[in-house]
A and B are shown apart, each in its own frame.
Chain A
Amino acid sequence: MTNFLNWLETKFMPPLAKLSEQKHLKAIRDGVISTLSLIIIGCFFLVIGNPPIASWAEAIAPYAAQIAIPFRITTGLMSLYAAYGMGYSLSKSYKLDGVTGGVLSLATFLMLTVPVNVDASLPEGEAIGWVLPMGNLGGSGMFSAILAMIFAVEVLRLFKQKNLMIKMPEQVPDSVARSFEALIPGTFVIVFVWIIRILLGFDINQILINIFTPLNNILGNNLIGVLLPVVLITMLWAAGVHGVSVIGSIVRPMWLVMLEANGQAMVSGTPSNELPYIAPEQFYQWLVWIGGSGATLSLCILLLFTKSAYLKQVGRFSIIPSIFNINEPLIFGTPIVMNPILAIPFVVAPSVTTTISYFAVKFGVINGFSVNAPWTLPAPIGAFLSAGNDWKAAALVLINMTIAGLIYYPFVKVYDKKMVEEEHSEMEDKKNMQVDTAAV
């Protein structure tokens, strides 16, 4: 086990950690994170629009479309915001102007969407002119947004390196000079995408969706694919590294695509227990990471009843943060990191609860996840909201907590015994020392 932990620290962690530090992936992570507050707000309206009580649902049915609008504008357009955020972030990391990079990324992304004129299909006198179809501006456009962002900012960088920019004289204010700086690279980017998308008619968005759909299906709907992030994240944590921040920065775009697909399915009337994807991030957040990565709320409760004075204290100071899913003090305090005894249940317990939860969602016992509730909510509440107001999801949280507790229990017992022995021998040492000094 100790060898395994050493292997984690020296071989497994560094390449993954390096990957998460890669400039483009970092830009994707920061850009995507910048949209999360909007997604939470939009999902809030999804909760209102789909109340758990049938009579309420009936009462608000006539307004359902209006209630869903904030959802459509926030979550439904998430790739739009992400395109700007990612472009901003990547430009910043290259020491280019962030706003310029953000705006150019956004425009490049929009260029992939062909505006249509719907006047012909409207009654006379209701002409609204050109509209952008929203379908690909939400989660399903995320990969186009990423591609557009990388292309736009890399061109910007290349042109700046080669000095292909319009330089303004010193007296011109910075903000004006900047907009001129983007003229040549911006023109190149827009014309290039125009040729590809409009003249040649390549639907890049569709091609990317075709490439990524099988991958989404594995990560979202296949037991092995669903388990994979759990194992990777807990193994990283066992080596002392924030697993979600590493794995999440790679997988989160796909998780968001799944969440949005589920949300859209729900708005368009799909039953909540038949949503297209089993495992967007919320699946893990609420059913598996109860108390934080490793399902440590169960561990924390067990620690409260340990004999070791130290472990009991760790349990006490960790219990409140744990309820709100913050568990670093517990992970480093117990410690779980590089601890051959506790690392085993830390990986096994969430893997087991993931499997149980996977089948619970797959067979429609509980609702699928369509709402992004803030991750610091206590798990039963978060699960209830996130699974479209499903009390059965909250019940599953309690069941999973019990199972995780049973898996942790024997290991905690062993570790507690070891700690008590250490504490005793320390006390003995102190006593002996006192006796020694008294004797002198």
Chain B
Amino acid sequence: MKVIMVCSGGMSSAIVVKAIKAEAAKQDFELDMIAVGSGAVEEELKDGDYKLLLVAPQVKHQFGTFEKYANENDVPIEKVEPMGYTPIGAPKTLELIKKYR
């Protein structure tokens, strides 16, 4: 399953993505996930067949913009809740991802 996560610069989400991937591996869930900054998400969505776009909490004010990009590419979009945006929150966020399997 291909998932993309967007934050401001793609740095902090990389940390979260790493934790989510580790959790997915633990649960034997096949997950191909990348993290991008808000400037790159529009182009990236066009390229891959993503099954879900996750929005990091610190860029929730840009949700409307991301939603537009997501709709253009028929990708469902979800906000990551604050406590899910940490290494300990990874299992929770993975549950969210699994809903779109």
Contacts and interface: CB of A to CB of B under 8 A. Distances in A.
Contact of B59 (A237, A245, A313): A245
Residues of B in contact with A, size category: 20 to 34
B56 interface: yes
B61 A17 contact: yes
Interface residues of A, number: 31
A317 B87 contact: yes
A290 interface: no
A39 interface: no
Given A33-B39, A326-B12, A329-B12, A241 B82 contact: no
B8 A21 contact: no
A333 B99 CA distance: 23
A14 B63 CA distance: 12
A20 interface: yes
Given A21-B62, A337-B82, A242 B15 contact: no
Interface string A233-252: 00001001110111000000
Given A30-B39, A241-B61, A332 B88 contact: no
Interface in A1-34: 13-14, 17-18, 20-21, 30, 33
B16 A329 contact: yes
A314 B86 CA distance: 9
A70 interface: no
- Taking each of B15, B58, B62, B65, which has the highest tally of chain A beta carbons within 10 Å of its own beta carbon? B58
Interface in A216-231: none
Contact of B83 (A241, A242, A333): A333
Nearest to A92: B42
Interface in A365-412: 376
Nearest to B65: A21
Interface of A: 13-14, 17-18, 20-21, 30, 33, 237, 240-242, 244-246, 310, 313-314, 317, 321, 326-329, 331-333, 335, 337-338, 376
